[in-house]
Structure 1
Amino acid sequence: MVTRRRFLQGMAALSVLGSSVRTLPSFAAAGKKTALADAVSRHVDVFVGTGGHGHTYPGPSMPFGMMQLGPDTNNSQWDGSSGYHQGDGSIMGFSHTHLSGTGAADMLDVLVVPAMGPVLLQPGDRDYDGVNYTSRYDGVHAGNGPKPKGYRTGIKGYRSHYTGEQARPGYYRVQLTDSHVLAELTTTERAGIHRYTFQQPGEAHLLVDFAHGFHDDPKTPAKVTDAELKLVGNDTVVGSRVVHQWANGRHIYFAMKVSRPFKRGVLYANDTALADGNTQASGTNLKAALHYDTLNDAPLLVKVGISGVDIEGALRNLSTEIPAWDFDGVQAAAEAAWEKELSRIRVQSSDDAVMRTFYSSLYHTMLAPTLFSDVDGRYRGMDMKVHQLPKGQHNYSTYSLWDTYRAEHPLFTLYQSERVPDLVNGLVRMAQESPAGPPVWPLQGIETVCMIGYHSAVVIAEAQAKGFTGIDYAAAWPVFRKRAMEDDYFGLPEYRKRGYIPSDVEGEAVSKTLEYSYDDWVMSHYAEKLGHHEDAVALKTRSQNYRNVFDKATNFARPRGSDGQWLEPFDPRGMGHSKKWRDFTESNAWQATFLNQHDVYTFMKMFGSVDVFEKKLDELFTTDSELPSDAPPDIAGMVGQFAFGNEPAHHMPYLYAYSGAHHKTQARVRMLLETMYLPEPDGLPGNEDCGQMSAWYVMSALGLYAVDPVSTHYVFGSPLLDRAEVQLAGGKKLVVQTQGNGKGRPYIQSVSWNGKPWTKSWISHEELTAGGTLLFVMGDKPNTSFGKAPTDRPPSFGKSASEQV
């Protein structure tokens, strides 16, 4: 039984950082105020994005950590992509790997279920059927029955204020009502520790469900092969398996230790108990139950280490990172790590919701990429072989590159500059090791080939253009050049041959043409920096292939056939010219038309004039938001036909800067900052996508956005904060300050940089990272002259605006 003293101690600990609470009766006032009470991490609400279509998870992890320990409420269906959805109302157990905000799903490795009574081997219905091992938490469940007081309806189910969950960066706790267990979780980089307080006398057990994982069909199990479980003595379980889900064929290994010896361990294969004395099992559907007579006198601690290499690696990670049974010490270290990383950007705002949204967003930018190398430097490469890193280097995984090249990686170059070489060298190694070529969406040693283009080139070339050292840029070049010039890859032969991809030959051909054009632009920079001038010229020329899918008669990017003709029928809201062909990737012609990031002034001229371009951009935001029934759910966060909930749209509000109407950028960006983000479970406009949705908020709240990351320029938006201080490399600082800011005052009246007037609507990375103060004077009426002159507009295609307008 949990004592009142222990409960008060737990609640006092939660008061330290101002937990995100879904909410137990609070005795937090009894806790002593500590030095961390004013920490910036108290503003983080880890439940942001766990409702709606955000697809985030609330469990603890370290910044960029391999271990993502947390509750699983759901292991199938799209809104269960992270394993957790706030509307589900019941918990299966606690697994050790989760994806943050993705639209595709995997992970949920090594489910641990604390329970009392007989062993139940199936999770049952997540709406809770009262029979199998899924448990409600704090008496709450989703579904159609009577709702406890405190419920309010949301887009995807019910959000309760009384669910018994409490969490903050590095710590999670929940009251499992039906299991009579108080569960607490915290982590190191490669290991996690659970603390379970069993609240009734009687037989108790831990179930390790090693068949658990994400699966597309709720009626079919996760796809697992080559699984092994082994009991070692009376306090250790180890195992390995190969998972065939989104990342088809990824390897995962674990080692689990318990603080109190179990009385009896039982292994199950295909839900049949093996005979007593069996300590090892192999197959596809394996589970283990660790039995105890009673556990209500003191908490049971469980430590789990994971590895992508082998069981020995998991054991080494565990023993190195959590050598003692010190839950509170691990928790304190995790919280300190988060405070250190979050404090790299210290902001001020009189609006508490802005503070919570900003730091919740900054937190989410550090949940991916994820560490994927052991403490001894070994990692499993994209060739499935085990490699050894040089001392001091780290390997990473979970790169959602189609999304994150746009804002997250540019943000890292500012406030995570010392981590950039490791992140980029990881992509270089993947390019060399992978039989699939340049990384596209790599996850734990497997190329998922998810999304279009090959935007790892952007991240590498951006770091190169910004002068990051310690990266072997030349090592990856042959692989990327082969992709651009030779590979038979998703329409590239047609693209090279015709200058566009015919939509009667290849699916999503319009979007692919446009994104390959940007990759060509990026590759031209990459080549030039390495001295491959001839390749650079050819790629730069080819980067204007976007023109070949633009119809001047309609002023839309649209599908074109292999005979060179525009395909009919054409509906700019539609997904394709016929039911057989989808012409765009998670978008339609309205959104695809404004994908251009790198050659904006040439693109404007194709509309006939800058004024016509600007009017068309206005229409993007003002045309009604109707979409056809076959539109994918990723097209979300609609403002007119502008789909902010999907990443290709993220730079589009900033395009007004190129037309000289920067005040429209200011108005659009401020509107999106204020209406599309809330510090609530359903507080994101779409999938979080490994930090990109949150990175847009962080960058835009600072007043900066990299429309074309490889250009190394940031376009101004409408800074939301009163003040921000960003730690830069070499001990330098960037201060962003506003005067006259607030609700209804989104417009820049003037800008100064280090005390001197600044008339341009953009600034370079080199200038910002030298350190200094960027001061924005804001007002309630637009200053239409700011950024209007061609000399003040952002450069594009390697030339100043005044050379092109």
Structure 2
Amino acid sequence: MPTRRGFLQGAIAFALFAGADASGLARALPGVATKGDGDMASTHPFCDRVDLFIGTGGHGHTYPGATRPFGMVQLSPDTYNADWDACSGYHLGDGSIMGFSHTHLSGTGASDMLDVLVMPATGPTHIAPGTRKHPESGYRSRYDHADEVARPGYYAVLLKDYGIRAELTATERAGIHRYHFPAGHSGHLVIDWAHGIQDADDKPTRVTDADLKLVDDRTVTGGRRVHQWANGRYIHFAMRLSRPFAGAQLYAEDQPLAGLAREAKGKCLKAVLRYPDAHDAPLLVKVGISAVSAENAMRNLDAEIPAWDFDGVRRDAADAWERELSRVDVDTPSAADRRTFYTALYHTMLAPTLFDDVDRRYRGMDLKVHTLPEGAHNYSTYSLWDTYRALHPLMTLVQPERVPSLVDGLIRLAEESPDGVPVWPLQGVETGCMIGWHSAAVIAEAYAKGFTGVDYAKAWKLYRQRAMEDDYRGLPYYRKLGYVPCDKDWEGVSKTLEYAYCDWSSAHLARAAGDENGYRALLKRSRNYANVFNHDSNFMQPRLADGAWATPFDPRSVGHSKKWRDYTESNAWQATFLNQHDVHHYMTLFGGTEAFARKLDALFNASSELPADAPPDIAGLIGQYAHGNEPSHHIAYLYAYAGQHHKTQARVRQILRTLYHAQPDGLAGNEDCGQMSAWYVLSAMGFYPVDPVSGNYVIGSPLFDRVTMQVGKGRTLTVEAKGNGPERPYIQSVTFNGKPYTRTWLRHADLAAGGTLVFEMGAKPNLAYGAAPADRPPSFV
């Protein structure tokens, strides 16, 4: 089973732009609109609040390039492509740019994409990128961060070694570049069709079946299969240029093809297009992509960018982002908090990504070409182990019209895939990354929240196969023994816990389809988490097939032996609280609510020391709480179930204040396709879905004085925090639509109906709030 972190953690130390606002990065590009100079600033105020460089440093793994909300194209600079911090292709610690490619992953801990690299250049021709240490040895160019501009839907930079100003913007399925060459210089474009994520410097991108064709003197097409993380995915492109090139050279295996070759086939293909008149006028490059064919890539391109209007495409991209970002309006005196929030909101709309063409064709999980019904869309890039927790719940509130298409799309993927129900699908290929089958949670949540237009009966048929029959990653042991034994399969503790939640989710799919027997069976099995709880240690521990507890045991360790790990990107401290659906019954394992609360206190107050072999994902530590990775994300809210809600308020506010910053290294861990940011967005608004399948949210500590969000069909939800402030995180009282509200949880249906939720905040906790059993969040519902 692949996990995301097959890469060694690179220790990249840098202190660039700590606390800098992205608006300060636009100074050196005359002619490029910035936040203070014209129509973009005056007509797109919500876009002004986004800093695309947050997450590009540290280990956030985000990219600053141009894309549309949930767009198929992500046109962004690549600074490196061969280590863990190159997962998105860009890291702020790198000093040179390899070029601009059209597909990127946002904040993942595993790597792929970076398709169709284009690099403009002057001077001698290089067809290899060169190295980070010696960029002059290839087509790379040095750049300064002061010469970058990044706004939603737009990116620009000065390539210093060539004196070329590059600008990028995008539609949903196509990108457009504008290159300004220096006066008196001829130029050329390098198209590196071998470029992509690599396992290491000396391991080229695994490509087969590639072709590259010079259709005419303004058109280039290509196709290839890539065998990286998404093994065997198809990608095609079509490129149009604003004026004809004077000459072109194709390369195969870095050797020039003889004569006037117009087409190349192989694995390592490249092209150089020459422009002696490059300096006469800006050169525009339009690129469409498709998983179906180069012809479909051309259809996408011609349909979405029919003209050579770069500024028009850029305005349309900004308009699209403005519409989406303006769904939530926050009122706060802190410019840094506002910037952090809107950057987070932006990051929640980069995945899942559109994965169909303008003619409704798409490449399915069976790698065959299918056609969608009129009005339907297909999506990819579902980081489900991460995003079921907060990203998809957030979308049910602020993107409700997208939910049926996304959810029914997951069922379509499950129906097509030879690998069964979706785990981590990427561009028509199941990566199989991470554990469990959490697409079930996304579908079950949609059912719980009343979304229609989803075939829940079909979903249950597919998910029943996984839950009840598939020989899948220790599931036969789980069904027989009630847990995954650590001497038979790896990450057995985490699998047991995650499978229990997947059972909980799948049970609701059974109920949606009218299968009460299936519902009851999986409901009972969802309590298998108890089978790896050791009452003597009060930890979730690895257990052998004979029932004995594995030794030695250290709660900070990731495994009892060197053979394999017992926990997935976590240790026993974090895994012990990996219960989202059955918290009240779960607390009895510890001896009751008081004992459980003491165990939570111990988690947050423990030493943050980790063993040498701990994965880099155990990050963002408060004690042994690890906010940098998803298994911890609900834990601060568990105090509410124990009647100690004031501790939830304090911890949530602490996390909001200390583990998110308006800086390039402002994320505590990988962004993971929006999950890290979705936690912030929801928690800053005042609530979080501990158990998304329940359709409920647990109240936290609202960060802003006032938040107004559009929740669909013209309805508005307003959250006010009166008397709020940095030293006033504690809820004194709550009203909802003018009536006193004593519960520490909220129903989705009530929030989605709109209204006004008002918190009175103070500097000292109100210990009575949420203490009564009737006011605590329900579980197992």
1:168 aligns with 2:168: no
1:346 corresponds to: 329
2:68 corresponds to: 62
**3-state DSSP class of the match of 2:527?**
helix
1:279 corresponds to: 262
**3-state DSSP class of the match of 2:493?**
helix
Distance 2:194 2:369 in 1: 25
Q: Aligned residues: percent identity? A: 63
Contact 1:20/1:44 (<8 A) preserved: no
1:85 shift after superposition: 0.4
1:265 shift after superposition: 1.3
1:110 aligns with 2:116: yes
How many pairs were matched up? 758
Contact 1:504/1:581 (<8 A) preserved: no
Distance 2:653 2:286 in 1: 45
CA displacement, residues 574-620 of structure 1 (integer Å, 9 cap, x when unaligned):
01111113100000000000000011111111111211110000010
- 1:606 maps to a residue whose letter is L
Pick from 71, 82, 92 the counterpart of residue 88 of structure 2: 82
1:522 shift after superposition: 1.1
CA displacement, residues 461-493 of structure 1 (integer Å, 9 cap, x when unaligned):
000111101111212222210100010000000
Evaluate the alpha carbon distance shift between residue 751 and residue 231 of structure 1 in structure 2; reply closer, same or farther with a 3 A threshold.
Answer: same
**3-state DSSP class of the match of 1:332?**
helix
2:658 corresponds to: 675
Matches for 1:504-515 after TM superposition, within 5 Å: 504-515=487-498
Matches for 1:120-139 after TM superposition, within 5 Å: 120-138=126-144
1:615 aligns with 2:621: no
2:15 corresponds to: none
2:522 corresponds to: 539
- 2:27 maps to a residue whose letter is L
Evaluate the alpha carbon distance shift between residue 687 and residue 32 of structure 1 in structure 2; reply closer, same or farther with a 3 A threshold.
Answer: closer
Pick from 288, 309, 322 the counterpart of residue 305 of structure 2: 322
1:12 corresponds to: none
Further displaced range: 120-129 or 564-573: 120-129
Matches for 1:713-732 after TM superposition, within 5 Å: 713-732=696-715
Contact 1:21/1:167 (<8 A) preserved: no
1:37 shift after superposition: 5.0
Contact 1:135/1:176 (<8 A) preserved: yes
Distance 2:193 2:581 in 1: 48
1:24 aligns with 2:7: no
**3-state DSSP class of the match of 1:566?**
coil
- 2:106 maps to a residue whose letter is S
CA displacement, residues 300-354 of structure 1 (integer Å, 9 cap, x when unaligned):
0000000011111100000000000000000000000000000011111111111
**3-state DSSP class of the match of 2:303?**
helix
2:16 corresponds to: none
Distance 2:202 2:431 in 1: 24
Pick from 98, 123, 136 the counterpart of residue 104 of structure 2: 98
Evaluate the alpha carbon distance shift between residue 488 and residue 38 of structure 1 in structure 2; reply closer, same or farther with a 3 A threshold.
Answer: closer
- 1:24 maps to a residue whose letter is R
1:9 corresponds to: none
2:11 corresponds to: none
Contact 2:660/2:667 (<8 A) preserved: yes
Structure 1 unaligned regions, length at least 5? 1-17, 139-161, 799-805
1:203 shift after superposition: 2.5
Pick from 26, 29, 48 the counterpart of residue 42 of structure 1: 48
Contact 2:459/2:509 (<8 A) preserved: no
Contact 1:102/1:690 (<8 A) preserved: yes
Distance 1:675 1:47 in 2: 18
1:525 shift after superposition: 1.2
Contact 1:128/1:136 (<8 A) preserved: no
Evaluate the alpha carbon distance shift between residue 61 and residue 163 of structure 1 in structure 2; reply closer, same or farther with a 3 A threshold.
Answer: same
1:650 aligns with 2:650: no
Evaluate the alpha carbon distance shift between residue 25 and residue 290 of structure 1 in structure 2; reply closer, same or farther with a 3 A threshold.
Answer: closer
Distance 1:127 1:702 in 2: 44
- 2:704 maps to a residue whose letter is L
Contact 1:210/1:285 (<8 A) preserved: yes
**3-state DSSP class of the match of 1:693?**
helix
2:364 corresponds to: 381
Pick from 209, 227, 233 the counterpart of residue 216 of structure 2: 233
Contact 1:19/1:42 (<8 A) preserved: no
CA displacement, residues 671-691 of structure 1 (integer Å, 9 cap, x when unaligned):
000110011110000000000
Evaluate the alpha carbon distance shift between residue 21 and residue 223 of structure 1 in structure 2; reply closer, same or farther with a 3 A threshold.
Answer: farther
Distance 1:134 1:578 in 2: 44
Contact 2:29/2:158 (<8 A) preserved: no
Further displaced range: 33-42 or 731-740: 33-42
**3-state DSSP class of the match of 2:410?**
helix
**3-state DSSP class of the match of 1:750?**
strand
Structure 2 unaligned regions, length at least 5? 1-20
Contact 2:53/2:663 (<8 A) preserved: yes
User: Once superposed, what is the RMSD of the aligned Cα atoms?
Assistant: 1.2
1:39 shift after superposition: 1.2
Relative to the length of structure 1, the TM-score reads: 0.93
Distance 1:284 1:726 in 2: 49
**3-state DSSP class of the match of 1:729?**
coil
Distance 1:606 1:724 in 2: 39
1:180 shift after superposition: 1.5
1:431 corresponds to: 414
1:441 corresponds to: 424
1:29 shift after superposition: 9.4
2:7 corresponds to: none
CA displacement, residues 72-112 of structure 1 (integer Å, 9 cap, x when unaligned):
00101000000000000100000000000000000000000
- 1:368 maps to a residue whose letter is A
2:4 corresponds to: none
1:223 aligns with 2:226: no
1:783 corresponds to: 766
Matches for 1:618-629 after TM superposition, within 5 Å: 618-629=601-612
